[in-house]
Structure 1
Amino acid sequence: MKDMALNLRHQNANAAWSFALMNGDIRRYELRDGDRVASEAGSSVERAESYDSNYLDVGKTYQVAFSMMIEPGQTNAASWLILSQFTSMLDPGEAAHSPPFAIELMGDRLRIVTRDSSAALSTAADTQYRRQYDDSQPLKRGQWYDIKVQIVFGPSGNGQLKVWRDDVLLTDYTGSLGFNDIKGPYFKQGVYRSATPQTIAVQFKDLRMGEAS
């Protein structure tokens, strides 16, 4: 993999607990009830995330690798929660939509989803939701997991996705993936969820991203 120079910028409530850089370059994200980005003060979403400033090209093969650990605590009760995602750069006049790729938690079980639309300005009516993987067992709190994603964005049908956890292949998909946007998607990581009266903390380390060799 030819590594990109990552430039992570933060989106959070700017609270003392929202983000911490720990020993060994471990990034810790904590989200509490009511934690919202200032621009989303009236919304029903909460987030403590970082995003990278690199935009990816449709048709190229990219790889992302990292390790993650969910700290011990209450079982996640959010109706949706995203830990890592590629999110779209919306075209002028395009309505907001959910990300084309996401690693989610449902309860404490891992879920991998994709979305796609080949329309110039996508709408909910022409967006296809694809559930790529659902865990049969919850993740173990306090345990590190190694994640690797290999992805090709192709909204017209030539996309590809492979996801491994601890070197076990979870998803192997070929087909439509992503949106028909002027500028390609970018990577985000942390905790992003529907408003929920819980605290959750997640740690990430060894993040690498680049074009696959």
Structure 2
Amino acid sequence: MNLKALCLLITLWTVSATASASWFNKTERAPAIKKVDFLAGVFKNFATSNASRPYSLQVEKNIVRTGSSSLRFEIRQGDIWKRGRGKEGHGTYRVEVQEETYAKFETDYWYEFSIWMPNLLVERDTRLVIGQWHGEADANQGEFGRNPPLVQRFRNGRFTIQLRWNENKVQTGDQLKDDSKRIDIFSEQGFPRNTWVDFVYHVKWSWKGQGIVQVYRRILPDQTFQQIANYRGPVGYNDDLGPYFKFGLYRDDVPFTDVIYFDNYQRTQEPQKLLFREALH
């Protein structure tokens, strides 16, 4: 990430603290090729959601996967982010950066990113999300927010990649009782600590049944990628707009501090342009 990218990040973070009440007006579909690469200095079409503490989201110079900087996310007990105004505001405990553009359905995308999880991150029997692809509910048709169609969860020390789908056009009712189907496509005890873990996701969003989710992982210092998931079938919701990616921390309010680092995020429709393109060979 170069100096231009850092300035854009700091500006974006400051603006989000004052404009969060209006959420993020994501109205565009992703172009045919949508690439966001920190190393190339591109940090537009992103927004943040956090408690706007000085420590919430920082540029990190020491723990870096490639280049000169990564992003450091931190959340402490009571760090609530409010969507909406006053008493009607919906509070959640998160520090995330998210795309403001959408993927297209029935289209192949490749996502890559690197995660560093420090030892201080405490295992717990409560929700902790460390990266998610979120759907955009059709609110103009009475639809409600739902669980993400693809998510990385960490609970009781177990790392799980879970996907959901639903072919119904409009889902209504209690969010906690949504009727979407779900499946864990990868789950293992533990997550590597104090080292970088590289991920490459090949995803084709298709609630119709022609979807793909292939996941490749490399745990440094090992230089070899391993395929850890190979799913074919429906993935995503029957929405007007496709999913968008969010990375960082999203959790329940718990009495300890969580920190995580992300680097090298990119989304592309051209796998030959991946930084970690060797994952696919």
Structure-1-length-normalised TM-score: 0.92
1:51·1:187 contact (CA, 8 Å) conserved in 2?
yes
- Write out per-residue CA displacement over residues 149-199 of structure 1, whole angstroms, 9 at most, x where no aligned residue: 110111111111001111111110001100000111111000001222221
Q: Matched residues in 1 for 2:184 and 2:82: separation?
A: 31
Q: Relative to structure 2, which stretch is displaced further, 101-110 or 186-195?
A: 101-110
- Write out per-residue CA displacement over residues 71-106 of structure 1, whole angstroms, 9 at most, x where no aligned residue: 221522152211111101110211211000001112
Of 105, 124, 127 in structure 2, the residue corresponding to residue 80 of structure 1 is 127
- Write out per-residue CA displacement over residues 93-142 of structure 1, whole angstroms, 9 at most, x where no aligned residue: 1121100000111233321000000101125453001111111x311321
Q: Partner amino acid for 2:143?
A: E
Of 74, 94, 119 in structure 2, the residue corresponding to residue 30 of structure 1 is 74
2:146·2:178 contact (CA, 8 Å) conserved in 1?
no
Of Structure 1 and Structure 2, the greater helix share is in: 2
2:56·2:75 contact (CA, 8 Å) conserved in 1?
yes
Q: Matched residues in 1 for 2:91 and 2:35: separation?
A: 34
1:81·1:192 contact (CA, 8 Å) conserved in 2?
yes
- Cα RMSD for the two superposed structures: 1.8
Q: Matched residues in 2 for 1:74 and 1:84: separation?
A: 15
Q: When the two structures are aligned, how many residues end up with a matched partner?
A: 211
1:189 is the counterpart of 2:233: no
2:81·2:91 contact (CA, 8 Å) conserved in 1?
no
1:87·1:188 contact (CA, 8 Å) conserved in 2?
yes
**Which of the pair has more CA radius of gyration?**
2
2:49·2:97 contact (CA, 8 Å) conserved in 1?
yes
Q: What runs of 5+ residues in structure 1 fail to find an aligned partner?
A: none
Q: Matched residues in 1 for 2:190 and 2:179: separation?
A: 32
2:113·2:200 contact (CA, 8 Å) conserved in 1?
yes
SS at match of 1:38: strand
1:78·1:195 contact (CA, 8 Å) conserved in 2?
no
Percent identity, aligned pairs only, is 25
Match of 1:127 in 2: 180
Match of 1:111 in 2: 160
Counterpart mapping for 1:4-153 below 5 A: 4-5=35-36, 7-23=45-61, 24-39=68-83, 45-92=92-139, 93-123=142-172, 124-135=177-188, 137-153=189-205
Runs of 4+ more than 4 Å apart: 40-44
Q: Relative to structure 2, which stretch is displaced further, 59-68 or 71-80?
A: 71-80
Once the two structures are TM-superposed, the CA of residue 12 in structure 1 deviates from its matched residue by 0.2
Of Structure 1 and Structure 2, the greater strand share is in: 1
Q: What runs of 5+ residues in structure 2 fail to find an aligned partner?
A: 1-32, 37-42, 62-67, 219-224, 272-281
Of 130, 154, 175 in structure 1, the residue corresponding to residue 206 of structure 2 is 154
Once the two structures are TM-superposed, the CA of residue 25 in structure 1 deviates from its matched residue by 2.6
SS at match of 2:214: strand
